[in-house]
Amino acid sequence: MIVTSPPSPVISIQNLTKTYSSGFQALKSITLDIRRGEIFALLGPNGAGKTTLISIVCGIVTPSTGTVSVDGHDIARDYRAARARIGLVPQELTTDAFETVWDTVSFSRGLFGKAKNPKVIERVLRDLHLWDKKDNKIMTLSGGMKRRVLIAKALSHEPEILFLDEPTAGVDVELRRDMWRVVRGLCDNGVTIILTTHYIEEAEEMADRVGVITKGELLLVEDKAVLMQKLGKKQLALKLSTPIDRIPTALAEYPLALSSDGAILTYTYDKQTERTGIDTMLNDLGRTGLRFTDLESQQSSLEDIFVGLLETPR
Amino acid sequence: MNWHAVQAIYMFEMARTRRTLLQSIVSPVISTSLYFVVFGAAIGSRIQQVDSVSYGAFIVPGLIMLSLLTQSIANASFGIYFPRFTGTIYEILSAPLSSFEIVLSYVGAAATKSTILGLIILLTAGLFVPLHIDHPFWMLVFLLLTAVTFSLFGFIVGLWADGFEKLQLVPLLIITPLTFLGGSFYSIHMLPPFWQAVTLFNPVVYLISAFRWSFFGQADVHIGISVVAILSVLGLCLAVIWWMFKTGYRLKS
């Protein structure tokens, strides 16, 4: 799938494939552009290739074929310039144990080629509510705090691009809120964010664009709003005054579903089409003598879309 | 060059030494002192001079080498293995760092530690036997060269190992026997001719011989041959590390 974007993407991935030495093909010809300053959510089930994709861009995994450029710098030929722009928050809680929070975050800044700057470190630690833990050894911190440390490390060198690999997996509500506040702040300052998450509502809330990946293939990349519009179904639920056993034959041609208790009739329609068919369906419903006491319409969530896409036979 | 990164890793490793001071510095000093007490004072007093040097003084270069080799390997292998074990290696791999810079910082720190250790042992030895160093400059050169070479070797071990037991394996089962059999406590001329010839296949013989030459001006093997042997091991280690980084061996999939 080739997705074209406006000029000068901040990350350009071309025909990227990865086959591990075990023979497992983790990525199958991925082509993807990430726009400067956007929040891009990569959705996919476990083993879809999300982490492999991120790891290749960050230089941790070697691609089999294909190219990746970061801000115009090829990740193989010009790896210094490419990597210096990137911050990575890994999925696993991989931290040192005996270092203090301050030391480990300062270490990361040096590692990425930046001169010491206590003010930047202080700001990052304060933003992540780590300031009062700065002299604590990492081993004494809770899992949530360690996650904050990993984010602080990734931000220590003021990256232009931030990768968050399942950042909210197993963290509490407070940290999640803090994290998204920081992410929004970064985005406001022009930082491009690429995240993978299982919490689809967060992608729905945070992302500008969504990519769906499964079995190493990018199924689609779309503006979130467009995706919701394009694939989003609406449903009209009618609460019947008297439950029924089955849908009357007069209504058989409509996309209707009956709840197990026979009390709710759900009509699914595509809101993109000009004629939703609601009026004729309701007329036909009236003719059958069925009465309803309440009605409710709702739009499918990104999660529904996501599950629907993955379930579609390919 | 990403000097900030080299400095960051180097200081990180040196900080680890400070945290584990007892293990890093004190315990090798204690064990070396015990060697002096046992071999130098207790048994050594009954041994006549070796190559016209008192036995206590004769074993000093060998003892320093014994610690230098094992500690260089232990420091360097642990330094690179531990981030692999905990997973923090992701940060090193994703940083704008060349393979050369990674090796320079880890091996540099390991070699610094073992060189300091070697000098501390030398000073400790001075408490037991009168020390005389014929060629102090060359003594330092050989000390550094050995520390760097075996830190490189330790780095290879740290990349190769896939468990803590393998980290112990090489120093314990290979390096310690080679050092003991490499003339730490005797001149290889004391061996029967056949074993003298066999011993020459042991690279540690050349290290100890060269180091002892810098102390006493006499060597088991010609100093030129020793220098070539040490540089060959150094070159071999560099080649192996180059290959490891080129192929991503145990670092990148």
Q: What is the mean pLDDT of residues B25-40?
A: 81
Specify the higher pLDDT residue, B228 or A272. Answer: B228
Q: Which residue of B has its CA nearest to A90?
A: B90
Q: What is the percentage of chain A residues whose pLDDT exceeds 90?
A: 48
Query: Is B109 an 8 Å CB contact of chain A?
Result: no
Tokens 């290879």 belong to B156
Between A80, A110, A153, which is nearest B4 by CB? Answer: A110
Highest mean pLDDT among B55-69, B165-179, B229-243: B229-243
Which stretches of chain A sit within 8 Å of chain B by CB? 20-21, 58-62, 79-84, 86, 88, 90, 92, 94-99, 103, 106-115, 153
Query: Is B85 an 8 Å CB contact of chain A?
Result: no
Contacts 24+ apart (CB under 8 A), A227-230: A227/A302, A227/A305, A228/A204, A228/A299, A228/A302, A228/A305, A229/A271, A229/A272, A230/A272
User: What's the pLDDT at A7?
Assistant: 58
User: What's the pLDDT at B29?
Assistant: 83
Q: For an interface test with A, which of B24, B82, B94, B244 has the most A Cβ atoms less than 10 Å from its Cβ?
A: B94
**What letters, b where the CB count within 10 A reaches 16 and e where it falls short, cover A107-116?**
bbbbbbbbee
Interchain proximity A95–B8, CB inside 8 Å: no
In which element (H, E) is residue B135 found? Answer: none
User: What's the pLDDT at A251?
Assistant: 86
Chain A residues with beta carbon closer than 8 angstroms to that of B91:
88, 108, 111, 153
User: Which pLDDT band holds residue A175 (cuts at 50, 70, 90)?
Assistant: confident
Tens digits of residue pLDDT in A94-114:
888 889 999 999 999 999 999
Interchain proximity A113–B2, CB inside 8 Å: yes
Chain A residues with beta carbon closer than 8 angstroms to that of B88:
94-96
Residue ranges per structural domain of chain B: 3-44+55-247
Q: Which two tokens stand for residue A255?
A: 């996309």
Which of A7-16, A52-61, A166-175 shows the lowest per-residue confidence on average (mean pLDDT)?
A: A166-175
Could you give all domains of chain A from N- to C-terminal order, each with its CATH number? 11-228 (3.40.50.300), 233-311 (3.30.70)
Largest CA distance in chain A: 78
**What letters, b where the CB count within 10 A reaches 16 and e where it falls short, cover A122-143?**
eebbebbebeebbeeebeebee
User: Which pLDDT band holds residue B187 (cuts at 50, 70, 90)?
Assistant: confident
User: What's the pLDDT at A271?
Assistant: 67
Beta-strand pair A11-19/A25-34 = antiparallel
Kindly report the nearest CA distance between residue B19 and chain A, in angstroms.
9
- Cβ neighbors of A163 (< 8 A, separation 6 or more) are A54, A57, A58, A86, A87, A88, A89, A154, A194, A195
User: Which pLDDT band holds residue B13 (cuts at 50, 70, 90)?
Assistant: very high
Q: What is the mean pLDDT of residues B177-203?
A: 85
User: What's the pLDDT at A3?
Assistant: 55
Kindly report the nearest CA distance between residue A25 and chain B, in angstroms.
12
- Cβ neighbors of B134 (< 8 A, separation 6 or more) are B213, B214, B215, B216, B217
Tens digits of residue pLDDT in A189-217:
999 999 987 667 777 778 999 898 888 99
* Gap between the Cα atoms of B35 and B38, Å rounded: 5
Tens digits of residue pLDDT in B44-82:
777 777 777 888 888 889 989 988 998 899 999 999 999
Q: What is the mean pLDDT of chain A?
A: 87
Q: Which residue of B has its CA nearest to A56?
A: B94
Between A58, A61, A115, which is nearest B4 by CB? Answer: A115
Beta-strand pair A264-270/A233-240 = antiparallel
Q: Which two tokens stand for residue A93?
A: 């809680």
Query: Is B2 an 8 Å CB contact of chain A?
Result: yes
User: What's the pLDDT at A260?
Assistant: 85
User: What's the pLDDT at A26?
Assistant: 94
Interchain proximity A115–B253, CB inside 8 Å: no
In which element (H, E) is residue A22 found? Answer: none
User: Which pLDDT band holds residue A269 (cuts at 50, 70, 90)?
Assistant: confident
User: Which pLDDT band holds residue A282 (cuts at 50, 70, 90)?
Assistant: confident
Q: How many CB atoms lie within 10 A of CB A1?
A: 12
Whether the pLDDT of residue A301 is over 70: the answer is no
Question: Any idea what the Cα angle at residue B57 is, between residues B55 and B60, rounded to 5°?
Answer: 110
User: What's the pLDDT at A109?
Assistant: 96
Q: What is the mean pLDDT of residues A236-264?
A: 87
Whether the pLDDT of residue A313 is over 60: the answer is no
Contact yes or no for B46/B212 (Cβ under 8 A): no
In order, the DSSP letters of B151-173 are HHHHHHHHHH-SSHHHHHHIIII
User: What's the pLDDT at A232?
Assistant: 64
Contact yes or no for B241/B150 (Cβ under 8 A): no
Tens digits of residue pLDDT in A215-235:
899 988 989 888 777 666 778
Q: What is the mean pLDDT of chain B?
A: 89
Whether the pLDDT of residue B106 is over 90: the answer is yes
User: What's the pLDDT at A199?
Assistant: 67
* Gap between the Cα atoms of B240 and A279, Å rounded: 76
Chain B residues with beta carbon closer than 8 angstroms to that of A107:
8, 12
Tens digits of residue pLDDT in A80-91:
999 999 999 998
Kindly report the nearest CA distance between residue B240 and chain A, in angstroms.
20
Q: What is the mean pLDDT of residues A150-173?
A: 89
User: What's the pLDDT at A188?
Assistant: 92
Tens digits of residue pLDDT in B89-102:
999 999 999 999 99
* Gap between the Cα atoms of A86 and A153, Å rounded: 12
Interchain proximity B96–A95, CB inside 8 Å: no
Kindly report the nearest CA distance between residue A74 and chain B, in angstroms.
13
Beta-strand pair A256-258/A233-240 = unpaired
* Window 6-65 of B, Cβ < 8 Å to A: 7-9, 12, 15-16, 19
